[in-house]
Amino acid sequence: MGDGRLHGALQGRERQNKARTLRRGFVLALLIACSGCATGTPIGSAGLDRETLTGSVPPPADDRLSDEMTIRNAVSSADLAALGAKPLAWANRDTGAAGTIDAVVEFKDGGTVCRRFKAVVENYEGVRLHSGTACLVDGAWRMTKFEAV
């Protein structure tokens, strides 16, 4: 009977030792696995990487200016005789904006050829009506007025 108790006590102690060894092994494995996440550089002092360029995001563009140029190009290249009273569709693939141009009227301002128009601009900000004027200055069309109505 005494030997049975001794044998049971030894088995209990062996189980405790095995459990302790397993816990220590688990903690050691966890420390080894996490050590790859740590670096010697403090997070705040890492700085901004200005050398790596991915090219996945295009540089920001002035959407309004790009849309104005697209509308100016449509107004300046329109054949007014063929257009008549029909609206002229336009779209800017760079900004995703689109719309129509109406009421294009050509006139002369002190000898300069200009075209006055109304344009609907539909973009991520909503739908807005604009009025504008484009003039032929020194051989190139320039937007002299473009504003929301």
The tens place of each residue's pLDDT in the chain, 149 residues long, gives 556 666 666 677 777 777 788 788 777 776 676 666 555 556 555 566 666 655 555 544 588 889 999 999 999 999 998 888 899 999 999 999 999 999 999 999 899 999 999 999 998 888 999 999 999 999 999 999 999 99
DSSP E strand boundaries for 80-139 = 88-91, 98-109, 112-123, 126-137
Same domain, 71 and 133: yes
pTM above 0.75, yes or no: no
Residue 114 in any domain: the answer is yes
**Residue 49, SS3 per DSSP:** coil
For residue 70, the enclosing domain spans 63-148
Same domain, 33 and 69: no
Query: How are strands ordered across the β-sheet holding 112-123?
Result: 88-91, 98-109, 112-123, 126-137, 140-148
**Residue 86, SS3 per DSSP:** coil
Structure tokens at 10: 């030894």
Domain count along the chain: 2
Residue 74 in any domain: the answer is yes
Residue 14 in any domain: the answer is yes
- Placement of tokens 């002369």 in the chain: 108
Structure tokens at 115: 């075209």
What is residue 32's predicted lDDT score, i.e. its pLDDT? 73
Tell me how far apart the alpha carbons of residues 89 and 71 are, in angstroms, rounded to a whole number. Answer: 9
Q: Which of 67, 65, 78, 71 is nearest to 106 (CA)?
A: 78
Residue 77 in any domain: the answer is yes
Same domain, 79 and 16: no
Residue 57 in any domain: the answer is no
Same domain, 74 and 109: yes
What is residue 125's predicted lDDT score, i.e. its pLDDT? 83
Tell me how far apart the alpha carbons of residues 78 and 90 are, in angstroms, rounded to a whole number. Answer: 11
Same domain, 29 and 86: no
- Placement of tokens 């997070």 in the chain: 43
Same domain, 34 and 79: no
Same domain, 32 and 80: no
Residue 46 in any domain: the answer is no
